[in-house]
Each structure stands twice: as structure tokens, then as C-alpha cells.
């Protein structure tokens, strides 16, 4: 795989096709755990970890499904892989690093139903990515996810202090803010 | 709980989108036209109904410890069936909804209903609950999709509303428009609710 | 331990039943989907090479191993080759874009058809408009086509759709793949 194609996949996943702001994958954690920069960053790290592992495993699993001509089991197989992976990661982190578990632990169960992870693995298949490209794509997607959620958390921390009309308090103003961020990211559209 | 209460709860007071904020990914992603929104809503309702029925029927055979993986398998099965049927009979819709069809699996709404309602209730109740929540979800999607289609394309359900001189605000059909439209609609929803509360 | 085994078996049973149900559904729908795809394909390639009466699928290793190329048909009339249709699947903004290019036997692009796409409605999906696709018609296969945003005119330029450069480039990629295939392989057959 050439350096150029790695670069293109990364830039496109981080900025142009940002998972949250332009693909709408991972919206639940985006609004759910973006009240503070620190927790947002923790979520981003947990997602990065699971995404990278999930792309590797689902790549192998899809190879098997394809070999047996049962591609239609894809959705079931992938979601089960992700669910068990999350469980496994949770157990390993809990045993090896209690401090890391303290900071990431609460987010891990949420990742199973994070559509960004399942979405990523399905996109890898749709794009016919090989193992290498899938991993690069996973890392790019995870960086993009973390970038968006951390930036958004920083804005929301300040938004807490702003005078917002009563009916827009909370979720509506968060959505409008996300809309403006998405608009800004649209500026990257012609980058690649 | 009376059946009509269960139904109205899902449709209005516990509306999955406007009140519970569940399943936001498809809500934002596929609501660029009224037609896409309607089909997404119906597909989700079908999966929700199917999984609610199967889980309420089999609840005695599902061990508590591994209930989540089993719920996921049941839901994923229905999702795959819906995907195949759409691909066979509505290919254009299947292409438009794309990756968001398999992603119905991770729509928190469906898992939440399995966990908090279907695994504890009768089959009849679960059917009504699935219908109420599903229709509530569909209506919310349809409203958002209609607003975005009218503003973004100047059409409603593919019928042109304005004359040739109309320049649509394409941004509403693009990703930022999804966030903006839903944010503004929710503000409006809050306004209506708070007004009603004040009058009571 | 015994408990775990039991649970594993229960989960396995659920998955097995689901696999069976999906297998049955797949058998029913797969036929319909295949039939529809074939019908659409035949219509598309016949539209691109109206002169041809018979189509042969070229299942040549040297062709199918190339980047982006999915399927190539040779169109014939009274046992003489009149042109080729090349199906390619470049990556656009929202996934793969399936582009079928019709090329005459003397190296002219006869037409381009988008068989499948999931580009942004209202922007990227304008690549299916004839207004856009007609730009490719009549171009020669000798020179690589370039998508431009600046409005340059000339034999090798294709004007991108405003706000949908990625989608426009995907189509050009597909046509270029077909063009290169013709120049490097098909021409000398």
C-alpha cells in the first residue's frame, strides 16, 4: 500500500467524511458523553481501541463468510464480534490496568450500540478494503470521531454559561451547534 | 397498563425521537427526503415489531445473563430479512438508505424496548408497544424529512411545490441541515409543550 | 462451567435458527435480486451499444484482475465486434459508484451509464443526469480524462458538478479505467 493512499484514506476519514459530522455515525455518544472535554477524550480513546480491533477481526470473519457463501450472515456476525470484543476488552482492562478501567470503563458497554463501530466494519467491506486499508480507515475514523466529540465538548462547556432561550436549552441548542460544526467541516469537502 | 395507554405513550408522551432522543443516527442521516424517512421508519417499525413479538414469546427460554447477545441476534435476524426484502422489491429505496439498513441493529430504540418492555410483558402488550413506538418514530422521521425536503429541494414526496424560479436551500438536504432542522424542530416542540403546560 | 456450556448452547441454538431463517429468505430474495440486476444490466449495455446484436461476457484474467474493472462485454453484430461495455466500480462520496462505459471498436466513448450509486441526494446524485454524462460522449480513449472545477474546455476536460467534485471524479475514474483497459488490452485483441 502506497503512502499516498494511506494519506488519502486518513484525511478523508478524519475531515472530509467525518464519521459524526458528515456520515452521522456515532451520534448517541456524540451527544451523550460530550458535556466535558475529559470524558469526551476518554470515549474517543475507547472507540479508537475497539474500532481498530474490530476492523481486523471482521475482515477475517468476512473472509470466512465469503468462503462459505453466507454473506447474508454479515450483520449478525459483525455485531456479535463487536459485542464480544467490547466484553473482552472490558475484562482485560479491568484486570491489567485499574486506572485505565476507571477512566474508560463506563464507556465500554456503550460502544456495542455505537453505530460508528458497526458502520465502520460494514464500510470496510463495501469499499473492498484490504486488511491494511481497513486498519488505516479505522484509525482515521477513530481520530475523526475523537476530534469531533472533543471539539464539541469544548464548545458545550462554554455554552453552559451562555444565555440561551428557554425552549432551546439542552438538546436543541446542542443540535444547532453541531449543525454549525458540520457546516464548517463541509469546507473540507473538496480536499481529496 | 391498558393497551391504548401503551400505544399513546409510544406515539406521543414517550416519543422515541422528540422525548427519548433514541436512535439518532438514522433520524439525522436518512431524513433528507420524505420518502426515505417514511421507508426508514417503516423498516424500523417492522424490526421492532418482530423482535418485540419473538422476545416476548421466548422470554422464558432466555437466560438473564446472556439476554443481550440473544436480543442482538434476534434483532439482527429481522434487520437482515428487512434488508433482503427491500433489496428485492424496493431497490431504489435500498440504495438510498444504504448502510443505514444494517445499522438498524444498533438503533438503541429497539434494544431498549426489548430490554425494558418485551422481555417482561405479554405478547399482545409487546405488539402494541412496538406499534406505538414504531409509529411514533416514523412520524418524527417523516416530519423532519418533509421539512428538509421542502426547504432543501423545494419538493414534497418528489412533487415540485414551487415554480422554476425557486432556488432551494440545498444545505438543508446536506448533513448540516439535518442537525439544524432537528434542533429547530425540537425547540418548537418544547415551545408547544411548555405553552400547553402553562395553560393547564 | 456447566452453566456456561448451557448458555453457549442456547446462544448457538438461537444463532442456528436465525441462520436457517435467513438462508430461506435469501433463497427467495436472491433470485429476484439477481434477475432484476441482470435485466437492468442487459438494458444498460444494450443502450450503450445500440448497434450490437449479441453480447459476450469476456472472462479474461488479464481483464478482470485490473483495478476497478468488474465486468466487460463485447458487443457483436454479424460476428464482427462493434464495441465494448466496461463495468467499473470506483469509490465516490457515499460508497462505490458503478459506472458502465460504452466504447466503440475504434476508440470512441459512446456513452456512460451509472448503474448504482449512493451519493448525496441533490448534489452527488446529479452524476446520473444526462446533462452531466453527455460530456463523456464522443471523447477519445487515447488521452486520460481530467475532472475540472475551473471550467477549462478541451478534449480531455470534464466539468465537475458544483459541490460534488468527489462524485464527479469517481465517474471520471470509472471511465478512465475503461478507457485504459481499451487502450492497453481490448484494442489489440
* Chain C residues with beta carbon closer than 8 angstroms to that of B76: 18
Span C92-107, pLDDT tens digits:
876 788 999 999 988 8
Query: What's residue B63's pLDDT?
Result: 86
Rounded Cα distance, A104 and A60, in Å? 27
**pLDDT at residue C132 is higher than 80:** yes
Find how far residue B125's CA is from the centre of its chain.
Answer: 19
What percent of chain C has a predicted confidence (pLDDT) above 70? 98
Rounded average pLDDT over A96-110: 75
**pLDDT at residue B19 is higher than 80:** no
Are A167 and B103 an interchain contact pair (Cβ–Cβ within 8 Å)? no
**Is A188's Cβ below 8 Å from some Cβ in B?**
no
Rounded average pLDDT over A24-46: 84
Are A76 and C165 an interchain contact pair (Cβ–Cβ within 8 Å)? no
Q: Which of A69, A72, A124, A129 should be substituted to probe chain C, the one whose Cβ sees the most C Cβ atoms within 10 Å?
A: A72
Query: What's residue B179's pLDDT?
Result: 92
Q: Give the confidence band of B181 by pLDDT, cuts at 50, 70, 90.
A: very high
Task: Report the chain B residue with the minimal C-alpha distance to residue C162.
Answer: B170
Rounded Cα distance, C14 and B78, in Å? 13
Q: Whose CA is closest to C48, among C96, C87, C90, C98?
A: C87
Least confident of B29-38, C78-87, C146-155: C146-155
Q: Whose CA is closest to B65, among A109, A107, C3?
A: C3
- Here the cell at position A102 is 476507571
* Nearest Cβ partner for B84 among C10, C11, C25: C25
Of residues C152 and A44, more confidently modeled: A44
* Chain A residues with beta carbon closer than 8 angstroms to that of B29: 23-24
**Is A64's Cβ below 8 Å from some Cβ in C?**
no
Span C12-58, pLDDT tens digits:
898 899 999 999 999 999 889 888 888 888 888 888 888 888 888 88
* Chain B residues with beta carbon closer than 8 angstroms to that of C10: 61-63, 66, 70
* Chain C residues with beta carbon closer than 8 angstroms to that of B33: 121
The backbone region for C107, taken as left when phi is positive above 0, alpha when psi lies in -120 to 50, beta otherwise, is left
Q: Whose CA is closest to B77, among B102, B58, B100?
A: B102
Span A129-187, pLDDT tens digits:
889 999 999 999 999 999 999 999 999 988 888 888 888 888 889 999 999 999 998 88
Cell 466539468, located at residue: C159
- Here the cell at position C138 is 464522443
Chain A neighbours, 3+ Cβ pairs < 8 A: B, C
**pLDDT at residue C123 is higher than 80:** no
Enclosing H/E stretch for B104: none
Residues B22/A121/C35/B96 CA torsion (nearest 10 deg) = 40
Are A127 and C166 an interchain contact pair (Cβ–Cβ within 8 Å)? no
C48 Cβ contact list (under 8 Å, min separation 6):
C85, C100, C101, C102, C110, C111, C112, C113
Rounded average pLDDT over C125-137: 88
Q: Give the confidence band of A1 by pLDDT, cuts at 50, 70, 90.
A: low
Rounded Cα distance, A36 and A43, in Å? 11
**Residue pair A59/A120 in contact by the 8 Å Cβ criterion:** no
* Nearest Cβ partner for A73 among C19, C91, C93: C19
Q: Whose CA is closest to B152, among C1, C123, C25, A100?
A: C123
Beta pairing class for C146-148 and C157-159: parallel
Our CA-based measurement puts residue C179 at a distance from the nearest CA of chain A, in whole angstroms, of 22
Rg of chain C over Cα atoms, rounded to whole angstroms, equals 21
What percent of chain C has a predicted confidence (pLDDT) above 90? 17
* Nearest Cβ partner for C11 among B66, B91, B153: B66
The structure's pTM equals 0.83
Are B96 and C95 an interchain contact pair (Cβ–Cβ within 8 Å)? no
Rounded Cα distance, A152 and A19, in Å? 14
Long-range contacts of residues A101-110, Cβ cutoff 8 Å, at least 24 apart = A103/A42, A104/A42, A104/A45, A104/A46, A107/A29, A107/A33, A107/A39, A107/A42, A107/A43, A107/A46, A107/A47, A108/A46, A108/A50, A110/A28, A110/A29, A110/A32, A110/A33, A110/A43
* Chain B residues with beta carbon closer than 8 angstroms to that of C11: 66, 69-70, 73
Give me the sign of the Cα torsion angle C92, C94, C98, C99: negative
Strand positions, DSSP E, A81-153 = none
Residues A125/A126/A128/A134 CA torsion (nearest 10 deg) = -50
Task: Give me chain C's average pLDDT, please.
Answer: 86
Q: Whose CA is closest to B26, among B12, B36, B35?
A: B36
What's the half-sphere exposure (Cβ side, CA atoms, 13 Å) at A94?
10
Cell 455505537, located at residue: A114
Query: What's residue B200's pLDDT?
Result: 47
Reported ipTM: the value is: 0.85
- Here the cell at position B113 is 424496548
**Is B112's Cβ below 8 Å from some Cβ in A?**
no
HEC letters along B63-103:
CHHHHHHHHHHHHHHHHHHHHHHHHHHCHHHHHHHHHHCHH
**Is B192's Cβ below 8 Å from some Cβ in A?**
no
What distances in angstroms separate CA C98 from CA A127, A131, C86, C175, one per listed residue?
12, 23, 10, 10
**pLDDT at residue A105 is higher than 70:** no
* Chain B residues with beta carbon closer than 8 angstroms to that of C28: 88
Of residues B144 and B157, more confidently modeled: B144
Span B159-171, pLDDT tens digits:
888 877 778 888 8
Amino acid at each position: 500500500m502506497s503512502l499516498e493512499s494511506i494519506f488519502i484514506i486518513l484525511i478523508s476519514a478524519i475531515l472530509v467524511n467525518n464519521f459524526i459530522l458528515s456520515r452521522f455515525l456515532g451520534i448517541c455518544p456524540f451527544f451523550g458523553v460530550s458535556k466535558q472535554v475529559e470524558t469526551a477524550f476518554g470515549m474517543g480513546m475507547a472507540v479508537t481501541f475497539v474500532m481498530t480491533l474490530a476492523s481486523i477481526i471482521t475482515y477475517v470473519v468476512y473472509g470466512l463468510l465469503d468462503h462459505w457463501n453466507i454473506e447474508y450472515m454479515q450483520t449478525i456476525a459483525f455485531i456479535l464480534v463487536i459485542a464480544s470484543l467490547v466484553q473482552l476488552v472490558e475484562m482485560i482492562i479491568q484486570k491489567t490496568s485499574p486506572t485505565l478501567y476507571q477512566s474508560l470503563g463506563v464507556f465500554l458497554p456503550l460502544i456495542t450500540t455505537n453505530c460508528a463501530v458497526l458502520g465502520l466494519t460494514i464500510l470496510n467491506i463495501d469499499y473492498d478494503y484490504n486488511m491494511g486499508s481497513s486498519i488505516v480507515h479505522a484509525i482515521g475514523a477513530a481520530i475523526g470521531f475523537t476530534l469531533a466529540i472533543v471539539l464539541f465538548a469544548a464548545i458545550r462547556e462554554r455554552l453552559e454559561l451562555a444565555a440561551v432561550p428557554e425552549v432551546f436549552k439542552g438538546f436543541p441548542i446542542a443540535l444547532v451547534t453541531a449543525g454549525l460544526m458540520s457546516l464548517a467541516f463541509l469546507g473540507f469537502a473538496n480536499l481529496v | 397498563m391498558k393497551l391504548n395507554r401503551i400505544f399513546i405513550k409510544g406515539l406521543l408522551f414517550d416519543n422515541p425521537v422528540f422525548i427519548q432522543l433514541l436512535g439518532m443516527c438514522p433520524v439525522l442521516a436518512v431524513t433528507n427526503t420524505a420518502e426515505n424517512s417514511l421507508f426508514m421508519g417503516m423498516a424500523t417499525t417492522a424490526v421492532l415489531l418482530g423482535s418485540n413479538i419473538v422476545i416476548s414469546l421466548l422470554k422464558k427460554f432466555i437466560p438473564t445473563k446472556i439476554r443481550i447477545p440473544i436480543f442482538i441476534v434476534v434483532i439482527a435476524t429481522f434487520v437482515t430479512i428487512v434488508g433482503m426484502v427491500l433489496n428485492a422489491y424496493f431497490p431504489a429505496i435500498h440504495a438510498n438508505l444504504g448502510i443505514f439498513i444494517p445499522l438498524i441493529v444498533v438503533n438503541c430504540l429497539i434494544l431498549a424496548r426489548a430490554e425494558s418492555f418485551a422481555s417482561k410483558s405479554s405478547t399482545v402488550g409487546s405488539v402494541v408497544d412496538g406499534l406505538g413506538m414504531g409509529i411514533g418514530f416514523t412520524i418524527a422521521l417523516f416530519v423532519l424529512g418533509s421539512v428538509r425536503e421542502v426547504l432543501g429541494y423545494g419538493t414534497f414526496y418528489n412533487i415540485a411545490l414551487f415554480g422554476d424560479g425557486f432556488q432551494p436551500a440545498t444545505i438543508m438536504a446536506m448533513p448540516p441541515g439535518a442537525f439544524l432542522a432537528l434542533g429547530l424542530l425540537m425547540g418548537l416542540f418544547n415551545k408547544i409543550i411548555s405553552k400547553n403546560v402553562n395553560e393547564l | 462451567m456447566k452453566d456456561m456450556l448451557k448458555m453457549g448452547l442456547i446462544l448457538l441454538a438461537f444463532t442456528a435458527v436465525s441462520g436457517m431463517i435467513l438462508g430461506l429468505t435469501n433463497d427467495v430474495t436472491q433470485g429476484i435480486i439477481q434477475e432484476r440486476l441482470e435485466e437492468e444490466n442487459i438494458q444498460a449495455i444494450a443502450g450503450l451499444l445500440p448497434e450490437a446484436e449479441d453480447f459476450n461476457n469476456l472472462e479474461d484474467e488479464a481483464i478482470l484482475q485490473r483495478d476497478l474493472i468488474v465486468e466487460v462485454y463485447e458487443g457483436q453484430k454479424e460476428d464482427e465486434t462493434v464495441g465494448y461495455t466496461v463495468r467499473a466500480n470506483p469509490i465516490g462520496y457515499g460508497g462505490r459508484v458503478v459506472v458502465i462505459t460504452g466504447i466503440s471498436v475504434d476508440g470512441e466513448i459512446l456513452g456512460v451509464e451509472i448503474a448504482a450509486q449512493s451519493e448525496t441526494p441533490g448534489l452527488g446524485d446529479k452524476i446520473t443526469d444526462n446533462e452531466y454524462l453527455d460530456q463523456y460522449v464522443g471523447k477519445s480513449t487515447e488521452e486520460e480524462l481530467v475532472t475540472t472545477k475551473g471550467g477549462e474546455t478541451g478534449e480531455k476536460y470534464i466539468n465537475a458538478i458544483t459541490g460534488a467534485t468527489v462524485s464527479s471524479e469517481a465517474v471520471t475514474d470509472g471511465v478512465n479505467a475503461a478507457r485504459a483497459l481499451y487502450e492497453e488490452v481490448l484494442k489489440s485483441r
